[in-house]
Amino acid sequence: MILSFILIIIAVYLLISLVILPMQYRYLVSLKETEAKNKTKGTTQGEMYEKMNPGESMLHENAQGNPLFLLANILAAIIYRIKHS
């Protein structure tokens, strides 16, 4: 009984991660493009995050730090590295 409940929770988490994955990948690509643009301007990554307005900062923190998105973030990073190696 408990094992089936745990398996259901894991399956739902995997399903949610797969649904979120395309959005996380697009977010990662746009973030990397922004970092590249700022790098050509001579702005460091830290300065880029400091210049974000509070709304963007909260969205970034939620998109990258939410435990629900952890698997989707990892998979998006792996896909990004494979496609942009």
pLDDT in tens, 29-63: 998 998 888 889 888 878 888 888 888 888 888 88
**Residue 43 is assigned to a structural domain of this protein:** yes
Q: 3-state SS of the chain: helix, strand, coil percent to 5? A: 90, 0, 10
**Residue 39 is assigned to a structural domain of this protein:** yes
pLDDT of residue 39: 87
- What residue numbers bound the domain in which 39 lies? 28-85
**Residue 9 is assigned to a structural domain of this protein:** no
CA distance 82 to 36: 18
**Residue 4 is assigned to a structural domain of this protein:** no
**Residue 5 is assigned to a structural domain of this protein:** no
Predicted confidence (pLDDT) at residue 66 exceeds the cutoff of 90 = no
**Residue 60 is assigned to a structural domain of this protein:** yes
**Residue 52 is assigned to a structural domain of this protein:** yes
* Number of domains within the chain: 1
